[in-house]
Amino acid sequence: MCAHDNTDEADHGYHGYIGNQAGYVRRLKLIEGQARGLQRMVEEEAYCIDILTQVSAMTKALEAVSLGLLSDHMNHCVVSAARESDEAADEKIAEAMKAITRLVKS
């Protein structure tokens, strides 16, 4: 499913990231471990710069996941919508632009 509306899988197939799902899950589990490590560092009163270094690494890891998901969305959902109609394509492009704007602002 590409849309987050009431459309079912029969209408749009599957999410664009499904081919990379295992990779995304693996990366997110690593990020989860990084977050627990950061919590532990704060609890153990680690040096500020060491904590900030790990925050930066975690941020980069999340950005990589975001960019991968965005690429999958563009290559699957937006392309599928473009094949459907100009209106559907415009809708998906606008949706993607909103997501990109949120990513850039974060």
Question: Could you read off the pLDDT of 11-45 as tens digits, one per residue?
Answer: 445 677 777 888 999 999 999 999 999 999 999 99
Q: Which helix (H) or strand (E) holds 7?
A: none
Question: pLDDT at position 3, please?
Answer: 52
Q: Give the chain's radius of gyration (CA, Å).
A: 18
* pLDDT value of residue 106: 75
pTM for this prediction: 0.75
* Distance (Å, whole) CA 32 – CA 62: 10
